[in-house]
Structure 1
């Protein structure tokens, strides 16, 4: 989960989360009946996913922009979640425009032979109709009845107006839920089917992105600045600011999370890696403080929904810490005057907007 969230945080998600585009959460599922016949291992599922991406580029004339994740149902049936940019218009328009361009060149004498128009099978379909038809063709269930059912119910599309949060960090957290404790409500979605494990083939990637590039800048800092920034980020992430709808105000509360820990009586025994019999305690759900930073030495990286604002805050903090002492600073506490008059005012550097900050 940490690696997935870190990778999503380093992506430039502005093409996917712009205000002038339509987004959707698309679920590509397999038939519930006899799904082992169409996807016997993870390698086949990977080929199906990549084929869907290629068909998108061919029929819509643009690269697919998405973040995706593979999960499993309670019956171990695989499916894919894609949070993507919905293309405009209908399928096949780029191919039609390219044909009309070649036809115009032929009429003007720039081509020797008249071009032929080969109408695609998905020509004129909306995105949702196209996704259902193409996914059914890719999976290609051998039973005609099951294939017809799969074409009707194999794809589910929830557009951005009804897909819930559009905050990039919240969307990443939603996709990472099944990476949590196996005792959680979505922990089963990471359980790989036994048939895939016994097939000898790779199970493939669990998550990834398409058409998005990383936006990462490396800055060398001193050890003192490293410790100060890490300490500041830990303090900022120690609490969360929540909206109280009853009192119509924001409240600052400790950042907590719940996890399963061995807290109950001994319910059995099992062998450890060294072959020693160890007692097994019953697990209970415990509320603990959420970890502020994900990484070694109390640092690592921190996720935030507004990277530029946090970057400016860190810059102001470093400017104040590295400013040379003034004669006023030598006075005893209480005689130095207001803080805003003693700190030097410097213009903030221009920071390019990024969806996340990975420090």
Structure 2
């Protein structure tokens, strides 16, 4: 190897460059140490501007809630007892389409058969009762309050290979949450409605949503199909194309179902019975894939709606009278349900099962709720006042709201005229039997007319 020429000039240049660099490094180190020794000077903070206090807007009271509060004020109430009292308190709760009775015993203690909240794996009788009780008490003014709003029923389904994208209940709930966010970002308002989770025969989940829109059904259908396919995002292109074409359905709310809590609860509850061996039982049975994964989650819910209630503390005598009156009114409707009963053959004792009809009972244990038509609360309070011997106030208004029943003959007066005649004279009081018969006749007038028409037609033929 050839050695580099070491001259004085070259060596001097190299030595000088190294010394200059080392001196610069030492100076920088001294400056940093001096900065560390110096105390840090705090800069004065700028004074924050005082925040303006936002004025709280007064709560908006809907017409439904206002009407219930007015009716609740007319209920004869009693004073609330102290927590040390061991007597039972009786409450009545009025909602837009139901009347509920409850009891509270002080001091409050857990029941002997109390069970804490568990993992949801099936649809039960209690689940259906809770759903109907809540749907009957909701205020649907935000959903159907404007004439521009078109009530629609939305159905969201999954592709044929649904196990890939909906492995458990959390995945399905996540898809619905993403759809709500897409809807809010698109239309600048939250999605309001009632939803119910069901299952097809093949096990695939699908969701029904009752909501309202302010645009054309066709344009909303196109946007919903594209958005739902993007949210589910099946990895297979063929499955994704099929899901884009047939993954959603938007239908207008049927005309024969009125936009009332009673009709909505009837629509959601007609196929939600938890009877074993029923025709639509499979719709409420979750697949084994979801049950093995853990909790299924909720089967139903609502968005953007608030219950409208009016609660009053009443005496035991008044509570029992109103319960018995409503129980007799419901019994006169003669409603039956199909139940699965066990039977055995007399010859060989073989056990078999068959479907039987049983009468539907309501308010049989001094508590519970019952679905009632509009105007039933005023009628019930008028009957209570008449039973207690107090003058019936505003009874003519209550009777005038109901349609008058035509007379069967010239000699027999209608039920409405009988009630008006009794209420016109303050000396006469409406007894329980007369009030009950008048109520039954008024509510079953159309059925009586149809039956009498068929009988007359058979006689003429």
Q: Normalising by structure 2, what TM-score? A: 0.54
Once the two structures are overlaid, the 10-residue window that deviates more, 148-157 or 80-89, is: 80-89
Question: Per-residue deviation at 1:17?
Answer: 3.9
The whole-number CA distance in structure 1 between the counterparts of 2:142 and 2:301 is 16
The whole-number CA distance in structure 1 between the counterparts of 2:204 and 2:247 is 12
Question: Per-residue deviation at 1:173?
Answer: 2.6
Map 1:1-359 onto structure 2 (within 5 A).
1-18=128-145, 20=147, 21-32=149-160, 34-88=161-215, 126-161=219-254, 166-176=259-269, 177-200=271-294, 202-240=295-333, 254-265=334-345, 281-293=351-363, 297-306=365-374, 309-324=375-390, 339-340=422-423, 341=425, 342-343=427-428
Larger Rg: 2
Question: Per-residue deviation at 1:45?
Answer: 0.6
Once the two structures are overlaid, the 10-residue window that deviates more, 174-183 or 283-292, is: 174-183
CA gap of 1:260–1:52, structure 2 versus 1, over 3 A, is same
For 1:352, the equivalent position in structure 2 comes to none
2:336–2:358 Cα contact (<8 Å) kept: yes
SS in 2 for 1:15: helix
SS in 2 for 1:37: coil
1:320–1:343 Cα contact (<8 Å) kept: no
For 2:79, the equivalent position in structure 1 comes to none
User: CA RMSD, aligned part only?
Assistant: 2.7
Question: Per-residue deviation at 1:323?
Answer: 2.7
Question: Per-residue deviation at 1:305?
Answer: 3.8
The whole-number CA distance in structure 1 between the counterparts of 2:256 and 2:190 is 22
CA gap of 1:128–1:343, structure 2 versus 1, over 3 A, is farther
CA gap of 1:18–1:256, structure 2 versus 1, over 3 A, is farther
Question: Per-residue deviation at 1:152?
Answer: 1.0
Structure 2 alignment gaps of length 5 or more: 1-127, 392-420, 431-461
Question: Per-residue deviation at 1:175?
Answer: 1.9
SS in 1 for 2:208: strand
The whole-number CA distance in structure 1 between the counterparts of 2:181 and 2:428 is 57
The whole-number CA distance in structure 2 between the counterparts of 1:39 and 1:129 is 23
Question: Per-residue deviation at 1:16?
Answer: 2.6
The whole-number CA distance in structure 1 between the counterparts of 2:137 and 2:350 is 40
Q: Which structure's residues are more often helix, by fraction?
A: 2
For 2:122, the equivalent position in structure 1 comes to none
2:137–2:261 Cα contact (<8 Å) kept: no
CA gap of 1:24–1:228, structure 2 versus 1, over 3 A, is same
The whole-number CA distance in structure 1 between the counterparts of 2:162 and 2:258 is 32
The whole-number CA distance in structure 2 between the counterparts of 1:298 and 1:286 is 26
CA gap of 1:4–1:264, structure 2 versus 1, over 3 A, is farther
Question: Per-residue deviation at 1:180?
Answer: 2.9
**Alignment: residue pair count:** 269
CA gap of 1:199–1:171, structure 2 versus 1, over 3 A, is same
Structure 1 alignment gaps of length 5 or more: 91-124, 241-253, 267-278, 326-337, 346-359
